[in-house]
Amino acid sequence: MRPPKSAFRKIKPKRAGRPEWKRAEDFGLFLRGLPCACLGKNPWCSGPVQAAHVDHAGKGTRDAKGASTKVADRFMLPLSLECHRQQTDVIGWPKFEKTLPMDAEPLSALYWTEFLATPKGREWQRQAAERGDIASVAA
């Protein structure tokens, strides 16, 4: 007697998903309501604003990008659709970063600090404290 076909199917392991301390969806929504971080100085700057992750941020910390993961959401900038496309698909971070008013990582920290001063930002901090995630609260 042969075993059923289902006995030979490969079972894909469930993805773990992003850890809670890396996630801040309300920060992304906050950024979408702001002007592009290039301040309209790039000739290609156009389209709706998106929250773009600063991939090289947080190096040497647990917030850094890992294999098949994104950096923590606190390392995001508001970029127009075309600026985001230039950054990801055309010129890449090193060249694109030179078009910003300052380096991307400290600039994202300014936006993050501004977000934490909002009611949603304070709620995010409260939830992080409840989880015992001191590193995120102090960030």
Condensed to tens digits (0 to 9), the pLDDT of residues 17-38 reads 666 777 888 999 999 999 999 9
**H or E stretch covering 50:** strand 49-53
Residue with tokens 């309501």: 33
Low-confidence ranges of the chain (pLDDT < 50): 137-139
Residues in CB range of 14: below 8 A, 6 or more apart = none
Among 74, 72, 32, residue whose Cα is nearest residue 51: 32
Residues 27 and 29: their CA atoms lie apart, in Å, by 5
Token pair, residue 128, equals 């992080």
* pTM of the complete model: 0.77
